[in-house]
Amino acid sequence: MSIVLHDLAGADPDLRFSPYCWRTRFALAHKGLPVETLPWRFSDREAIAFSGQGKVPVIRDDGKVVFDSWTIAEHLEEQYPAPTLFGGATGRAHALFVNSWADAVLVGGIARFIVRDLMDIIDPADHAYFRSSREARFGQSLEAVQAGREDRLTAFRDLLLPIRLVLRRQRWLGGASPSYADHIVAGTLMWPRCASRFELLEGNDPVSEWQGRVLDLYGGIGRSAKRA
Ligand SMILES: N[C@@H](CCC(=O)N[C@@H](CS)C(=O)NCC(=O)O)C(=O)O
């Protein structure tokens, strides 16, 4: 039986762009688990009310409901140990650092480049909620948050230096093979890739080259994902 994933979608149901849902998509694919993804929009509150909270990803796995991408990864590792996502307890502890860094630094950093672009792809029913919730978060209009983004690119790219330094010594963040650490960062980068046409990375950046390798994993689910 397939695992069901409630997955953030745009007005176009095939446009899937959540940084957290992509982490889960890659983790499921890594384990070779079949998944049925259900498009979810910010206004579909009732569709995930059964989970007792209001954010995606949410999965249903054989009657068990799990939400939060990190908790889902832990659940998958426990239920389906091979192939491993973390490579043991130490790898899991290190992946938790990557997850926290991605949430605290990368997601906020990327948001300032694409948050206005998201208005162009989300469902019109989500517009008022999205604008008011995000403007309250940033304390500015979406247009003001995104303004001058070209001038901020160098500072953003500098944030990725730790990733570059790791990739200089090894092919994957997981070492010799991809692990959930790769899914966290590559899943987060699926967000700007799918939701916006603004290019955050230069083609010759080692991070872009590694991203290309992740896009081709698991039958190319990342590469073939619909883009804005
Ligand atoms: N910590 C959660 C974050 C999930 C999250 O923020 N999801 C966003 C979509 S990318 C969401 O569902 N937002 C609903 C809202 O803002 O109302 C995770 O890792 O899964």
Q: What is the pLDDT of residues 152-183, one digit of tens each?
A: 999 999 999 999 999 999 999 999 999 999 99
Distance set, CA 156 to CA 83, 153, 209 (Å) = 34, 5, 17
Pocket-forming residues, ligand 1, beta carbon under 6 Å: 8, 18-20, 42, 54-57, 68-70, 133
Q: Which atom of ligand 1 is nearest to the CA of 19?
A: 10
Strand order of the sheet with strand 58-61?
35-40, 3-8, 58-61, 64-67
Asked if the model's pLDDT at residue 1 lies above 90, the reply is no
C-alpha 56 to ligand 1 mean position (Å):
5
Dihedral (C-alpha) 203, 206, 211, 212: value to the nearest 10 degrees?
A: 60
Q: Which atom of ligand 1 is nearest to the CA of 67?
A: 20
Q: What is the pLDDT of residues 22-68, one digit of tens each?
A: 999 999 999 999 999 999 999 999 999 999 999 999 999 999 999 99
Nearest CA to ligand 1 atom 20: 68
C-alpha 54 to ligand 1 mean position (Å):
8
Q: Tokens for 189? A: 């980068």
